[in-house]
Amino acid sequence: MAYATKYYSPRLDRALVTRLYHEAKAQRIPMTVLTNRLVESGLSHLDGADQRHERSIVAEEPPTRDPARAY
């Protein structure tokens, strides 16, 4: 099966995967559900922190260097 779009899929540390596995089993939910909840919760805390501090801008791609400009 070929995918139309490739997505970045970060590799998690083995210790984290093990903890997620056991917690998901204890809660009787899929690991993906638990992981999504935890990431969503963590990101919402970050969003709250961004509202208290100036939000930083992260470029999708690194800026290109202008060869005519002296650095």
Nearest to 12 by CA among 31, 40, 30: 31
> Between 33 and 66, whose confidence is greater?
33
Model pLDDT for residues 25-64, shown as the tens digit of each residue: 999 999 999 999 999 999 998 887 666 555 555 556 666 6
Q: Tell me the mean pLDDT in the region 15-33.
A: 97
| C-alpha distances out from residue 32 to 12, 14, 38, 45, 59, Å | 13, 15, 10, 20, 28
User: Does residue 20 contact residue 34 with C-beta atoms inside 8 Å?
Assistant: yes
Is this prediction's pTM over 0.75? Answer: no
Domain boundaries, the chain: 14-51
